[in-house]
């Protein structure tokens, strides 16, 4: 018989941490904690396969489920010595979702299930304070009605407010048991009125209502959005965890809290968490009351007046610290924990690998290696290469003046600035608008409904909530700067104002937030790029030891080349020479060259460009000091350079001493309908060899000068773009070699250089064997190769390509991640055929894919020698290349074992 339900508790479990796919993260970890003997309230998990069955069968359950759930309940009853629905000693349970990937707050939870008019009395009898029972019942009716019966939350909040007003009090805790019992009556009447049925009294009916609601919540809009943003497949489904309730709200010796075993923002190795006395778990996350630090050290540091858990409940704290450490050692990673203390006894409700900022991830991985917990290879595998981007985020310039208008919690590091918006809708509108504004989303507190606004905002600022509030957790996950709980700010959403210390800010005013310091600053404050030393350098060093592929940068300006060196580039894989032509001083000469109608005219313009090019190349060679530098000959779609307005035409006409009208008609002649497939690449050198000759001369003369200046021989690679086969490549190569000979003769030296080509056209990939007879290296230009293989214009793809991705006709944008089956196949063919003729041919990639981790994995598989990407992605590529090497080694080992 299929097993749909697995139990845990009392020192053992039917599941384990390995069964995450089946039990979801929460269920698997509850089972694991029970197995290693930690105090976990007993319960059972209904598997994710039930969810799959539920949606595949018109929202119905497998036949055996009912009996298995009943058996699960009997297990809880046996361990707790309570009865579900028992009028003397009732068992209450929580019902929670838990999918394979953590989706914090996206799905539904119900607490205190099993309460009805009878069991509430039993609960009251057994409690120190009868209030507790009626308060629990009130909360249960509200939660259940909202989640299962789909009644509005506000309905109950209004009744609660009215009750408080009547009594003349402001806090829930000031209501006595009679007030609460009355409130329960009012709630039940409201339910009956609005749903047409009395509130269910039968615990079994309550339980099945809750189970169905949790499964249904897998398809709620916020869960769907979250899955889309985090690439979580719909087919995974959620599990449902039913667990005996323990109460953090049983009075002053009870508490509930959340903690991380290390600081999730900085990675610092110190227990880090918050708790509330006499509260239920949801209160901590919701940010309704301000929680207190767990440790005494954190309390003192934060100058918090209320006591820490460490002093308030020393026994429970001591046990918790031991459990936290044990779990970290067990899972070999930083843990995110939820716990409850019920009348002094500690209960663990959740353990999972904690979400963290990139900065913390890095520090934790490096520390765990130094602590002997992880190997360097494991540390490399732990870090998501794309997340390194967060570390490259700007911070506030220490020299800049900070006009601090408010302080809050440093919830997610990095600085951001932008215009104030007060809603997620406004955030989306401003960012999507023509001007593409940057915005700071300012909210009292965010909720899961806000993720779309948080996603587009540059930073997030809230006035309530702690370090584990929704805003803080989600912002850290997204790598966005966030300041939470800036309590001195007053938001008036209707008026669209933010007031602090008498000063009023309006939507559209600019703020800067410092998510590392927890500060809110007036205006746009100067920011600086981060420093990449310490843990970053350590991890990068380990990655460099491991990786097989080299990492180069695409760079042409000296600033880019220096940045690339700073990020650890091992050379330049692509220098797009046309990018050097847009300078004010040069553009007129470039236009002259293009518009000249004879060789003489072109040579005249080229002579003006030669010294510029020579000094550009010399600077690049000097910065790269002996590292390989690949310089590509001119490859612009010509239209990029044509003069547009009359003023531009006049300037060129004057420089050439030509008639502006004649020039205008020459420009019109050069107009192309499809420039990307037009007069570009080596076609320019074929039509006008003198252009290639000038560039080759500039390259070689610069190489001689740079070698003299630095004392390092220059390794230069001259690259011919957009060839279709060997013949056009050879034509251009002959010109380059001739210039090299000439320069050698003039300088009486020997040049060390290679001539190779880009493989950017399907035909070139197919003709790779022939091309390799004379080409000394290939660099795959996968931007053009994608464009030409798919027949999708790089410049015009946006309006229709997204439809392909949205409708799942393509798995992702092929300009971002290489299309393995199609473009990848062409690359593989190019490599294979190239090597068949020239076994040691140097192979690289310089399309945008060279900085994309998934594409880098592909490059490792086909055995490229290097990847080349934009300077800021060099660190990402270094790490991704190391991970790719490790993966390849593992695959080899598995192969050998088989
Ligand atoms: C390419 O086509 O992949 C390439 C690197 O060249 P460009 O982007 O300059 O066309
Ligand atoms: Mg190209």
What is the rounded CA–CA span in Å between residue 677 and residue 657? Answer: 32
Does the beta carbon of 819 lie inside 6 Å of ligand 1? no
Does the beta carbon of 856 lie inside 6 Å of ligand 1? no
E-state strands within 469-608: 482-484, 490-492, 497-500, 503-506, 510-514, 519-522, 527-528, 550-554, 572-576
Q: Count Cβ atoms within 10 A of the Cβ of residue 407 and give its class: 0-12 exposed, 13-18 middle, 19 or more buried.
A: middle
Does the beta carbon of 681 lie inside 6 Å of ligand 1? no
764 token code pair = 């070139």
Atom of ligand 1 nearest to the CA of 574: 5
Quick: pLDDT tens for 764-823. 999 999 999 999 999 999 999 999 999 998 877 867 888 898 888 998 889 889 999 999
Pocket test for ligand 1, best of 631, 721, 785, 866 (most atoms within 8 A of CB): 721
Full 3-state SS string of 741-804: HHHHHHHCCCCCEEEEEEECCHHHHHCHHHHHCCCCEEEECHHHHHHHHHCCCCCCCHHHHHHH
What is the rounded (10 degree) CA torsion for 7, 8, 9, 12? 120
579 token code pair = 């990018």
CB 764 within 8 A of CB 781: no
Which pLDDT does position 559 carry in this prediction?
82
Which pLDDT does position 795 carry in this prediction?
74
645 token code pair = 């307005």
Q: How far is CA 699 from CA 142, 167, 617, 740, in A?
A: 75, 87, 6, 9
Whose C-alpha lies nearest to ligand 1, atom 10?
A: 784
Tokens 């019992």, residue? 181
What is the rounded CA–CA span in Å between residue 42 and residue 63? Answer: 25
CA torsion sign, 440 to 445 to 448 to 449? Answer: negative
CB 409 within 8 A of CB 415: no
Quick: pLDDT tens for 417-435. 999 999 999 999 999 888 8
**What is the distance between the terminal CA atoms of the chain, rounded to a whole angstrom?**
33
Catalytic residue among 53, 75, 393, 470: 470
Does the beta carbon of 784 lie inside 6 Å of ligand 1? yes
Which pLDDT does position 485 carry in this prediction?
86
Angle (CA) 557-560-562 rounded to 5° is 110
- DSSP, collapsed to helix, strand or coil, labels residue 313 as coil
Atom of ligand 1 nearest to the CA of 760: 2
C-alpha 257 chain-centroid distance: 27
Residues around the ion ligand 2 (C-beta < 5 A): 760, 781, 784
Kindly report the CATH class assigned to 52-244. Answer: alpha beta
Helix or strand (DSSP H, E) at 113? strand 109-113
CA torsion sign, 398 to 403 to 409 to 411? Answer: negative
Strand pairing report for 459-462 and 482-484: parallel
Which of the listed CATH numbers 3.40.630.10, 2.60.40.4070, 3.40.50.2300, 3.30.470.20 matches domain 255-356?
3.30.470.20
Does the beta carbon of 515 lie inside 6 Å of ligand 1? no
Query: For residue 335, which of 264, 387, 393, 405 has the smallest C-alpha distance?
Result: 264
**724 CA from centroid of ligand 1 (Å):** 15
Q: How far is CA 839 from CA 717, 726, 769, 831, 835, in A?
A: 18, 17, 11, 10, 4
Query: For residue 719, which of 871, 569, 846 has the smallest C-alpha distance?
Result: 846
Which pLDDT does position 338 carry in this prediction?
94
What is the rounded CA–CA span in Å between residue 680 and residue 634? Answer: 8
Whose C-alpha lies nearest to ligand 1, atom 3?
A: 781
Is the CATH number of domain 394-528 3.30.530.80?
Answer: no
Whose C-alpha lies nearest to ligand 1, atom 9?
A: 576
**723 CA from centroid of ligand 2 (Å):** 10
Does the beta carbon of 447 lie inside 6 Å of ligand 1? no
What is the rounded CA–CA span in Å between residue 627 and residue 684? Answer: 29
Sheet holding 335-342, edge to edge: 292-293, 272-277, 255-260, 335-342, 345-353
Whose C-alpha lies nearest to ligand 1, atom 4?
A: 781
Query: For residue 790, which of 812, 768, 757 has the smallest C-alpha distance?
Result: 812
What is the rounded CA–CA span in Å between residue 694 and residue 604? Answer: 11
Active site residue 470: yes
**365 CA from centroid of ligand 1 (Å):** 36
- State the angle between helix axes of 599-624 and 584-595 in degrees (0 to 180), rounded to the nearest 10: 140
**774 CA from centroid of ligand 1 (Å):** 22
CB 98 within 8 A of CB 27: yes
Catalytic residue among 51, 682, 846, 859: 846
Which 8-state DSSP code applies to residue 867? E
What is the rounded (10 degree) CA torsion for 693, 695, 699, 704? 50
Whose C-alpha lies nearest to ligand 1, atom 8?
A: 783
CB 278 within 8 A of CB 251: yes
Atom of ligand 1 nearest to the CA of 783: 3
Which pLDDT does position 350 carry in this prediction?
93
CB 470 within 8 A of CB 452: no
Taking residue 122's Cβ as centre, other Cβ atoms within 10 Å add up to: 18
Pocket test for ligand 1, best of 634, 678, 847 (most atoms within 8 A of CB): 847
- DSSP, collapsed to helix, strand or coil, labels residue 421 as strand
Taking residue 580's Cβ as centre, other Cβ atoms within 10 Å add up to: 19
Tokens 């007046």, residue? 305
Q: Count Cβ atoms within 10 A of the Cβ of residue 201 and give its class: 0-12 exposed, 13-18 middle, 19 or more buried.
A: middle
CB 256 within 8 A of CB 343: no
73 token code pair = 């309940």
Q: Report the chain (898 residues): mean pLDDT per 10 consecutive residues.
A: 94 96 96 96 98 95 97 97 96 95 81 96 90 94 94 91 92 90 97 96 97 93 87 92 94 94 92 91 68 91 89 96 96 96 95 89 96 97 87 81 90 90 93 89 86 91 78 75 90 92 94 92 88 87 98 90 92 91 81 87 93 95 96 85 82 84 84 88 95 97 94 94 98 98 94 97 98 98 95 82 87 92 98 98 95 96 96 92 96 89
Does the beta carbon of 783 lie inside 6 Å of ligand 1? yes
Q: Where are the domains of the chain?
A: 52-244, 255-356, 394-528, 538-575+614-635+685-897
Instruction: Output the DSSP codes for 427-492.
Output: HHHHHHSTT---EEEEESS--GGGHHHHHH-SEEEESS--TTSHHHHHHHHHT--EEE--TT-EEE
What is the rounded CA–CA span in Å between residue 138 and residue 132? Answer: 10
How far is it between the farthest Cα atoms of the chain? 105
CB 341 within 8 A of CB 254: yes
- State the angle between helix axes of 130-147 and 119-126 in degrees (0 to 180), rounded to the nearest 10: 140
E-state strands within 364-407: 395-396, 404-407
- DSSP, collapsed to helix, strand or coil, labels residue 674 as coil
Q: How far is CA 289 from CA 12, 250, 275, 300, 469, in A?
A: 36, 17, 10, 20, 11
**507 CA from centroid of ligand 1 (Å):** 42
Ligand number nearest CA of 634 is: 1
Which pLDDT does position 238 carry in this prediction?
95
Pocket test for ligand 1, best of 634, 638, 681, 781 (most atoms within 8 A of CB): 781
E-state strands within 555-669: 572-576, 629-632
121 token code pair = 């009395």
What is the rounded CA–CA span in Å between residue 784 and residue 791? Answer: 10
Q: How far is CA 476 from CA 406, 441, 454, 479, in A?
A: 21, 15, 11, 5
What is the rounded CA–CA span in Å between residue 873 and residue 536? Answer: 14
Strand pairing report for 93-99 and 238-244: antiparallel
Kindly report the CATH number that applies to the domain delimited by 538-575+614-635+685-897.
3.20.20.60
Which pLDDT does position 286 carry in this prediction?
64
CB 459 within 8 A of CB 492: no
Does the beta carbon of 782 lie inside 6 Å of ligand 1? yes
Active site residue 849: no
């Amino acid at each position: 018989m299929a097993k749909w339900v697995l139990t845990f508790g009392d020192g053992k479990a039917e599941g384990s941490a390995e069964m995450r796919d089946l039990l979801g993260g929460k269920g698997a970890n509850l089972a694991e904690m029970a197995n290693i003997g930690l105090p976990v309230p007993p319960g059972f998990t209904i598997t994710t396969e039930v969810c799959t069955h539920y949606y595949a069968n018109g929202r119905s359950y497998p036949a055996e489920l009912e009996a298995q759930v009943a058996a699960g309940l009997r297990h809880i009853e046996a361990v707790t010595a309570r009865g579900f629905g028992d009028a003397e000693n009732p068992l209450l349970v929580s019902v929670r979702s838990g999918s394979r990937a953590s989706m914090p707050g996206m799905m539904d939870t119900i607490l205190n299930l099993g309460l009805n008019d009878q069991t509430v009395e039993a609960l009251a009898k057994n409690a120190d304070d009868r209030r507790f029972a009626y308060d629990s019942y009130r909360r249960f009716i509200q939660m259940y009605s909202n989640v299962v019966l789909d009644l509005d939350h506000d309905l109950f909040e209004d009744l609660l407010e009215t009750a408080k007003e009547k009594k003349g009090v402001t806090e829930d805790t000031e209501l006595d048991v009679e007030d609460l019992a009355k409130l329960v009556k009012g709630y039940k009447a409201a339910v009956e009125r609005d749903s047409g049925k009395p509130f269910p009294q039968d615990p079994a009916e309550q339980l099945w209502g809750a189970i169905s609601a949790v499964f249904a919540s897998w398809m709620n809009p916020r869960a769907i959005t979250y899955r889309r943003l985090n690439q979580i497949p719909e087919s995974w489904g959620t599990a449902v965890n039913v667990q005996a309730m323990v109460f953090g709200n049983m009075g002053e010796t009870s508490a509930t809290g959340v903690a991380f075993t290390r600081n999730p923002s900085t990675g610092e190795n110190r227990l880090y968490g918050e708790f509330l006395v006499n509260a239920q778990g949801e209160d901590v996350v919701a940010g309704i009351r301000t929680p207190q630090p767990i440790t005494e050290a954190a309390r003192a540091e934060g100058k918090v007046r209320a006591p820490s858990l460490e002093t308030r409940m020393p026994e429970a704290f001591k046990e918790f610290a031991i459990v936290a450490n044990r779990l970290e050692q067990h899972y070999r990673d930083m843990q995110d924990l939820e716990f409850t203390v019920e009348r002094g006894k500690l209960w663990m409700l959740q353990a999972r690998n904690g979400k963290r900022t990139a900065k913390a991830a890095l520090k934790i991985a490096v520390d765990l290696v130094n602590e002997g917990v992880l190997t360097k290879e494991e540390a490399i595998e732990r870090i998501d290469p794309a997340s390194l981007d967060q570390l490259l985020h700007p911070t506030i310039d220490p020299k800049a003046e900070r006009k601090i208008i408010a302080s809050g919690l440093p919830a997610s590091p990095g600085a951001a600035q932008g215009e104030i918006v007060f809603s997620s809708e406004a955030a989306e509108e401003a960012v999507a608008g023509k001007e593409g504004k940057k915005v700071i989303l300012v909210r009292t507190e965010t909720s899961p409904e806000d993720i779309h606004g948080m996603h587009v905002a540059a930073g997030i600022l809230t006035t309530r909530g702690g370090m584990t509030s929704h805003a803080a957790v989600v912002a850290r996950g997204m790598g966005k700067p966030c300041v939470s709980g800036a309590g001195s700010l007053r938001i008036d959403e209707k008026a669209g104002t933010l007031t602090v210390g008498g000063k009023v800010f309006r939507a559209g005013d600019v703020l800067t937030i410092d998510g590392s310091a927890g500060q809110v600053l007036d205006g746009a404050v100067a920011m600086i790029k981060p420093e990449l030393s310490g843990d970053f350098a350590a991890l990068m060093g380990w990655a460099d030891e491991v990786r097989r592929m080299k990492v180069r940068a695409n760079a042409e300006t000296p600033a880019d080349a220096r940045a690339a060196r700073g990020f650890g580039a091992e050379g330049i894989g692509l220098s797009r020479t046309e990018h050097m032509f847009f300078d004010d001083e040069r553009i007129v000469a470039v236009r002259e060259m293009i518009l000249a109608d004879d060789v003489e005219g072109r040579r005249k313009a080229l002579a003006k460009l030669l010294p510029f090019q020579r000094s550009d190349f010399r600077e690049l060679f000097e910065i790269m000091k002996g590292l390989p530098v690949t310089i590509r000959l001119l490859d612009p779609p010509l239209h990029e350079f044509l003069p547009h307005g009359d003023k531009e035409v006049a300037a060129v006409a004057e420089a050439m001493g030509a008639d502006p009208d004649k020039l205008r008609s020459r420009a019109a002649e050069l107009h192309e309908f499809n420039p990307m497939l037009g007069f570009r690449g080596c076609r320019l050198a074929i039509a006008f060899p003198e252009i290639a000759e000038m560039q080759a001369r500039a390259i070689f003369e610069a190489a001689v000068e740079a070698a003299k200046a630095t004392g390092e021989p220059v390794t230069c690679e001259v690259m011919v773009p957009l060839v279709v086969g060997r013949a056009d490549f050879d034509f251009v190569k002959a010109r380059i070699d001739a210039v090299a000979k000439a320069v050698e003769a003039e300088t009486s030296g020997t040049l060390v250089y290679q001539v190779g080509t880009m493989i950017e056209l399907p035909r070139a990939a197919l003709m790779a064997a022939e091309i390799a007879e004379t080409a000394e290296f290939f660099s795959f230009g996968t931007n053009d190769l994608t464009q030409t293989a798919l027949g999708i214009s790089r410049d015009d793809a946006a309006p229709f390509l997204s439809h392909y991705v949205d409708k799942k006709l393509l798995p992702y944008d092929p300009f971002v991640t290489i299309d393995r089956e199609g473009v990848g196949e062409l690359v593989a063919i190019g490599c294979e055929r190239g090597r068949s003729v020239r076994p040691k041919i140097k192979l690289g990639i310089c399309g945008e894919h060279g900085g994309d981790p998934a594409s880098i994995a592909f490059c490792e598989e086909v055995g490229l020698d290097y990847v080349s990407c934009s300077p800021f992605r060099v660190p990402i590529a270094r790490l991704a290349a190391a991970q790719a090497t490790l993966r390849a080694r593992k695959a080899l080992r598995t192969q050998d074992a088989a």
